Amino acid sequence: MKRKILSMLLVLCMVLSLAACKNNDSADTANDAKTTDNAGNTAGTAQVPDKVVATGTYDTLVIGTSSFNGVFNPMFSFSAFDSQVSDLIFATVSWLDPQGALIDDAGHVETEEIPAADGHTQVKYTVSIKPDMKFSDGEPVTIDDVLFYYYVISDPTYDGSSTFSTLDIVGMKDYYYDTPDYSEQLSKITKEVEDKYSLDKISEEAYKAYLRDTKLDGWWEGIDSYDWAGYLKEEGYDPTGIEKDEEKLFEMLVDCEYTKYHDSYDPQSYYQDKLEGEYIKGNLEDGVDVPEISGIKRVDDYTCTVLFDSPNISGDKQVAWIPIVPKHYYGADFSKGSLDGIKAFNGTPLGGGPYKFVSYQDNIVSLEANTLFWDEIPKIPTVKFQVVSQDDQVDSVINGDIDITDPSASKEVIEQLESAGMAYSLVDNPGYGYIAVNAEKIPDVNVRKGLMHLMNRTPAVESYYGELAQVIERPMSTTIAEYPHDAKEFYGYDPDKALEYFTAAGYAKDANGKLAKDGEQLKITIGIGGDGTMNHPSAPILTQMANDLQSMGAELIIQDIDASTLFDLMDAGELDMWVAAWSNATDCDLTQMFGSKGNDNNVHLYSDEIDKLQAEILKTVDFDKRCELVAQELDLIMDAAVYMPVYQRKNMEIYNTTTINMDTLPETTTTFWNYVKEINKLELN
Amino acid sequence: MRQYIVRRLFISIIVLFGVSVMLYLLGRLTPGDYVTSITAGNPNITVEMQERMREVYGLDKGIVEGYLNWLWDALRGDFGLSFLYQKPVTEIIMRYVPITFTLAFSAMVFEILLAIPFGIIAARKQYSRTDYFIVAVALVGISLPSFFFAAILKRIFAIGLGVLPLSGMVNARAGYTGWARIADIGKHLVLPVTVFVVTGVGGLLRYVRTNMLEVLNADYVRTARAKGVPEYKVIGKHAFRNTLIPIVTMVGNMIPGLFSGAVITEGIFSLEGLGNIAIKAVQSGDIPYLMGFNMFIAVLTIIGTLISDILYAVVDPRVRYS
């Protein structure tokens, strides 16, 4: 009996395992079948394209990349690796030349300044595409495809990375908020707020409601967050008996702030935002009222115009540096507010670029040459993107598994490549590393300047990167055309000077040898994302800074934390200082980082002078004049001592010389121009 | 028994509910949500756009409301769209299960095939050189960090000798189909499976050895030997079968492991398995995926323990559930 049970049991185990195996098999096949199906669809509707035949021994170019999210849709992808794939599948209207200037690709853009009815200057962009182009499924490309793209990225429910909807395009706000007379309504709200809530007109009730809702504009963080009773006593109030009663104490504070500091708060902006927010919310839920953006007009089958209400230095890039996506494929059932139909095609892209999508499986994306491409047809029949872990990138090229990839540049990698006879190129990364100081946490500019004088950047950057990075002097990527290359060092490393600034700020050594002011030691907390091992180019700067501060009697607390925690603490304003880097810089607009209302103004720099300059820069179309203004702006930012630019590093691209015909690579590779731009000319051996 | 199973199932539902509450809480309380993570580093994103996106992803709602929405949808079988992949969570899991399962299952088979015979040999020759050798090797395997061992294997077999592929699932350039493709996948799995087996076999081997030792000291084995039964029969029939009982119950506990994926090994070998996907989801705050995937693992764990408990009762008459 026992044996029987045991053997039954074993059989059961086997069956279970096999069943699991079988399920797995069928899932695998289903997966395969689906991919083939998609490929079939793509090929099926095409006009029987002739295949491209390999010119040499190799017929497949393998590009090494990092893991995909599978969103191969330029409208919705957030991953740079997904975009790498879509870059080959979609043609663009215009793109950037090796120096980063906008040039024609499959289309053209004309800029024209025109006076509006009320006299202010508007800018009209005329976007045109080449006639007689076709998508890879044989359907013609028309301007409707461009318009379709504009409408998708302007949609109120759009959640991709484009910021097109924030542009000052005529009618954009009406469309986005779905309100026919948005500006009129907005000015009505503004007027109402001015009449009811400006400092001299606001009622006591409304003012106190504002103080309660905003918790004294964020000052009140609970009963234990400050010595409230002491504060109230100083202000002449008597909180005796209610020190522990949160509600009553808060109410007394509200009364105190209303009575004594009426002019120091800004209830007007609060009510403006509140009413605007309520109004906008109310409008999105009652069906589509504004079906079109009035400033975007179709002219003919191959031309459209986009009207900006004010000049914008990157307006031409915003309207023309865009992929051409087929409306007939993605947007057959597109209507305002519903993008799900478009997202359904995220995994099976279709465009008019040099290559077309075949499949995505086993962590490999396969593409084949698009014989309907408008320009010179590619010479390599198949391109595959293979996911390779960062540690294997170089070895995979050397052992012949992949042909092109972009490892992070280091001295070791260069040596390894040179000894293996492989080729590489180095270009500036469109971003830079920096150390930031929160001006709200360290309000005294002298303390900030003192800290700046303790940052010894050159040895740190040289030891980490060697020649693969350079120290920069202003907070802007050197790849931006407006970067002032002649800028001099603003704060040199000089501990004596630093001490002078700390002294000027009122700090002095106390009896215990501590650098203190009003009995409080100078203590700074700085966050850095160094993988827990201080593995970061800026780490030596901090270590030296900590030592210098310690010898002065002050303290630097270094928190080596995970990047997402770092950004969270930074957003919450809990760090005095932090180390980070910017990437993907495309223009000289710094309003988000250093403007008073900027979303990324985490250093809390509020300067009317800088705001004014920024507004002027964005309207200055003349390049030389703009450079001057940018240099001024950057000097002001440096003088505020909130940002210490550290390094501008280089990006690397490596090539397998065995498989690639090196003569067919682009003559110059820059930040804005690489083999992808000339993939149709690239040949394999 | 039936009553026991029903009761266990009922308790399972409560456990799953508790697990889901905790998972959701953890997911939402993790610093940095999805919108922050995808918009980080993009200087043109405005606060308003971020808020609008939070609305689209349902992140503007409070934790309680968000959880109740999730629960309501999940109860109807809808686990939502993964933020990262923009596809239904169930579809993503189904897409990557084959890779993870193939890897974990083949590793498990090899582990069992190695652990049982070597465990028995070590037990039979307790305190001999063979025993010490086997146990030492097993301990070395347990102690080896997988990333380190993987790097050594890669250096020797892929870079040095060039006989095995460095990483990935298939050879992209060759693009094999049919049987050649299966063979190619097999070749690519050799190193990762080796890492799994060498680092994982030790535990099972020591388990077999301990159980075998216990059985070998049992009275019925002595009786069998005294009766003059040949040694191979004593081991093969009397001892081994009884050793299998606890091992069989272990199988239940191994089920969730077959699907949970191995973050480090998958990452090192660029295999897009569930472990790799899960770590990416954690880093970017992809709540729907994390909820769907973790609930999947939770259900498997509960089923696994239930099966092993039931099997235990079936196998061992002394265990009775009432």
Reported as half-sphere exposure (CB side, CA atoms, 13 A), residue A92 has a value of: 22
Chain centroid to Cα B119, Å, comes to: 22
**Is the per-residue pLDDT at B2 higher than 70?**
yes
DSSP B81-147: B-TTT-SBHHHHHHHHHHHHHHHHHHHHHHHHHHHHHHHHHHHHTTTSHHHHHHHHHHHHHHHS-HH
Q: Which residue of A has its CA nearest to B51?
A: A159
Chain centroid to Cα B205, Å, comes to: 18
Interface list for B 201-230 with A (CB within 8 A)? none
**Is the per-residue pLDDT at A42 higher than 80?**
no
Residue B40's closest CA among A565, A470, A538? A565
- pLDDT for B194 equals 93
Q: Which overall architecture, per CATH, does domain A432-650 show?
A: Roll (3.10)
Angle between helices A495-504 and A445-452 (to 10 degrees): 170
- pLDDT for A436 equals 94
Contacts of B160 in chain A (CB under 8 A): none
- Given a contact cutoff of 8 angstroms between Cβ atoms, the answer to whether A426 and A409 are in contact is yes
B158 Cβ under 8 Å from any chain A Cβ = yes
**Is the per-residue pLDDT at B82 higher than 50?**
yes
Strand A643-655 to strand A555-560: parallel, antiparallel, or no bridges (unpaired)? unpaired
**A82 three-class SS:** helix
Angle between helices B274-284 and B89-124 (to 10 degrees): 130
Q: What percent of chain B has pLDDT over 90?
A: 19
Contacts of A311 (CB under 8 A, 6+ apart): A113, A121, A123, A618, A619, A621
Residue A576, CA distances (Å) to A8, A255, A563, A634, B174 in order: 67, 32, 16, 22, 54
Residue A88 pLDDT grade (very low, low, confident, very high; cuts 50, 70, 90): very high
Positions of E strands within A382-505: 382-387, 404-405, 423-428, 432-437, 469-471
Tokens 């040999």 correspond to what residue? Answer: B121
Residue A107 pLDDT grade (very low, low, confident, very high; cuts 50, 70, 90): very high
User: What's the average model confidence in pLDDT over A648-671?
Assistant: 91
- Given a contact cutoff of 8 angstroms between Cβ atoms, the answer to whether A143 and A304 are in contact is yes
Contacts of B233 (CB under 8 A, 6+ apart): B224
Tens of pLDDT, residues A204-215: 888 888 888 888
Report the residue of A186, A269, A280, A391 to disrupt the B interface, i.e. the one with the largest count of B CBs within 10 Å.
A391
Q: Which residue of B has its CA nearest to A396?
A: B166
Tokens 């006989």 correspond to what residue? Answer: B163
Residue A14 pLDDT grade (very low, low, confident, very high; cuts 50, 70, 90): very low
Positions of E strands within A66-155: 94-96, 102-104, 107-115, 121-129
Residue A45 pLDDT grade (very low, low, confident, very high; cuts 50, 70, 90): very low
Tens of pLDDT, residues B103-115: 888 988 999 899 9
Residue A148 pLDDT grade (very low, low, confident, very high; cuts 50, 70, 90): very high
B257 or A400, which is more confident:
A400
- pLDDT for A659 equals 92
Contacts of A525 (CB under 8 A, 6+ apart): A557, A559, A575, A576, A577
Q: Which residue of B has its CA nearest to A155?
A: B52
Q: Which amino acid is at A638?
A: M
B316 or A323, which is more confident:
A323
Q: What percent of chain A has pLDDT over 70?
A: 92
**Is the per-residue pLDDT at A393 higher than 50?**
yes
User: What's the average model confidence in pLDDT over B38-44?
Assistant: 68
Q: Which residue of A has its CA nearest to B181?
A: A362
Tens of pLDDT, residues A407-449: 988 888 899 999 999 999 999 888 899 999 999 889 999 999 9
Contacts of A76 in chain B (CB under 8 A): 86
Report the residue of A24, A279, A318, A404 to disrupt the B interface, i.e. the one with the largest count of B CBs within 10 Å.
A24
Judge: A391–B267 Cβ closer than 8 Å, yes or no.
no
Weakest mean pLDDT among A478-482, A495-499, A648-652, B303-307: B303-307
Q: Where are the domains of chain A?
A: 4-14+48-173+296-425+660-678, 182-285, 432-650
Chain centroid to Cα A166, Å, comes to: 15
Q: Is ipTM over 0.85?
A: no
Nearest neighbour of A343 by CB, restricted to B86, B271, B280: B86
Residue B5 pLDDT grade (very low, low, confident, very high; cuts 50, 70, 90): confident
User: What's the average model confidence in pLDDT over B27-53?
Assistant: 75
- pLDDT for A47 equals 46
For residues A266 and A202, what is the distance between their CA atoms, to the nearest angstrom? 11
Angle between helices B287-315 and B63-75 (to 10 degrees): 60
Residue A422's closest CA among A251, A656, A619? A656
Nearest neighbour of A60 by CB, restricted to B84, B173, B314: B173
For residues A638 and A641, what is the distance between their CA atoms, to the nearest angstrom? 5
Contacts of B313 in chain A (CB under 8 A): none
B56 Cβ under 8 Å from any chain A Cβ = yes
- pLDDT for A233 equals 87
User: What's the average model confidence in pLDDT over A170-180?
Assistant: 86
CATH number of A4-14+48-173+296-425+660-678: 3.40.190.10
- Given a contact cutoff of 8 angstroms between Cβ atoms, the answer to whether A58 and A72 are in contact is no
- Given a contact cutoff of 8 angstroms between Cβ atoms, the answer to whether B212 and B119 are in contact is yes
Angle between helices A457-465 and A539-552 (to 10 degrees): 150
For residues B140 and B148, what is the distance between their CA atoms, to the nearest angstrom? 13
Contacts of A280 in chain B (CB under 8 A): none
- pLDDT for A296 equals 94
**A141 three-class SS:** coil
Residue A48 pLDDT grade (very low, low, confident, very high; cuts 50, 70, 90): very low
B136-151: b (≥16 Cβ within 10 Å) or e: ebbeebeebebeebbe
Nearest neighbour of A592 by CB, restricted to B36, B43, B168: B43
Tens of pLDDT, residues B197-228: 998 889 889 988 998 898 888 898 889 889 98
User: What's the average model confidence in pLDDT over A127-147?
Assistant: 93
**Is the per-residue pLDDT at A100 higher than 50?**
yes
B160 Cβ under 8 Å from any chain A Cβ = no
- Calculate Rg over the CA atoms of chain A: 30
- Given a contact cutoff of 8 angstroms between Cβ atoms, the answer to whether A434 and A472 are in contact is no
Tens of pLDDT, residues A180-202: 777 778 788 888 888 888 888 88
For residues A464 and A429, what is the distance between their CA atoms, to the nearest angstrom? 16
